[in-house]
Chains A and B, each alone.
Chain A
Amino acid sequence: MRCGRPSGGKPVMEDEQSFSDISGGRLALQRRYYSPSCREFCLSCPRLSLRSLTAVTCTVWLAAYGLFSLCENSMILSAAIFITLLGLLGYLHFVKIDQETLLIIDSLGIQMTSSYASGKESTTFIEMGKVKDIVINEAIYMQKVIYYLCILLKDPVEPHGISQVVPVFQSAKPRLDCLIEVYRSCQEILAQQKATSTNP
């Protein structure tokens, strides 16, 4: 389910701030307050740098040239060119995420969108009845301990249990200061939602 943007009426309050991710790259957090019960957070990841692209291309082509000097087969060089091109296209389409968006609508639910560098967008929607809480969790990731924001889903069987943990901003990986901003905004909306659900 894709939620549309409101057209006309009150102007949307926008706010842009610069943060850094866990490896030091620059992230831009855009906050849009559509209404007291609808907010959107958009994190833009750093672009694919020319330095890393040239480094990977040079290593692949040097390795291919090394193999060619061993085997004297010129197919290796053309294969290396194809591999580099296809690898770059595959990376841009399947791996490199440009922007991650979190849209919270009080009465409906939470929508997470990831847009890839090739233009592909993948969306996940969680309805508000399933959401138990949004928390900042701490976990071991690749020999580091990182903070990340995650959505806890309710367990239909147990009233106080948690059935699933859904991490948010998985590829942007912002640091704690950015996560605290998003967390505070989300908790305001969830508090409103809990107040309205307990007092029908």
Chain B
Amino acid sequence: MVENSPLPLPERAIYDFVLFLSSQFGFKLYLVRPFIPESWLNSLGLTYWPQKYWTVALPVYPLITIVISCVLLFGINTMSTSSRNSIHTVTDNCAKNQLQKKYQEATPALKITLFVK
């Protein structure tokens, strides 16, 4: 039985290196489209491709989505923080249910720690 651990293993090093090489190669292949002139690509026979505009435009969409989602997440968190005069800073639905619960044992199962200054 092999344990799951995050230690570096030889297999993982091989996977990582293959992934690194393929990502570098894929990036250089992607860079062919904007930098090589149309005439050279046409002479090779590669004619039916999208406009060069899209090689810059398509990656911009996910990048802007990431930036806006950072701002949006911060905004959603700030809006859902309860204000100082809200009852939710003191109690919530789970605390209210404790009143009806019947205790089977004599001492409660929670540990109460007191910090005395």
A147–chain B nearest beta-carbon distance, Å: 11
A142–chain B nearest beta-carbon distance, Å: 9
A160 near B99 (CB under 8 angstroms)?
yes
How far, in angstroms, from A56 to B31 measured CA to CA in the complex?
Answer: 50
Interface size on B, residues (CB 8 A): 12
Q: Hey, which chain B residues are within 8 Å of A148, CB to CB?
A: 84
B87 near A164 (CB under 8 angstroms)?
yes
A-B contacts, CB under 8 A, total: 33
B81 at the interface (CB under 8 A from A): yes
* Prevailing SS type, chain A contact patch: strand
Q: Hey, which chain A residues are within 8 Å of B99, CB to CB?
A: 158, 160
A158–chain B nearest beta-carbon distance, Å: 8
Interface size on A, residues (CB 8 A): 19
Q: Mark B80-103, 1 if CB is under 8 A from A, else 0.
A: 011011110111000010010000
B81 near A140 (CB under 8 angstroms)?
yes
Residues A133-189 near B (CB distance < 8 A): 137-141, 148, 150, 152, 158, 160-167, 170, 180
A144–chain B nearest beta-carbon distance, Å: 11
A166 near B85 (CB under 8 angstroms)?
yes
B106–chain A nearest beta-carbon distance, Å: 21
A146–chain B nearest beta-carbon distance, Å: 8
A170 near B84 (CB under 8 angstroms)?
yes
Q: Hey, which chain A residues are within 8 Å of B96, CB to CB?
A: 161
Which of B81, B82, B84, B117 meets A167, CB within 8 Å? B84
B74–chain A nearest beta-carbon distance, Å: 10
Query: What is the chain B residue whose CB lies nearest that of A163?
Result: B87
How far, in angstroms, from A29 to B81 measured CA to CA in the complex?
Answer: 30
Which positions in A face B, CB cutoff 8 Å? 137-141, 148, 150, 152, 158, 160-167, 170, 180
Which positions in B face A, CB cutoff 8 Å? 81-82, 84-87, 89-91, 96, 99, 117
Q: 7 more A-B contacts (CB under 8 A) besides A163-B87, A165-B84, A165-B87?
A: A148-B84, A150-B84, A158-B99, A160-B99, A165-B89, A166-B85, A180-B117
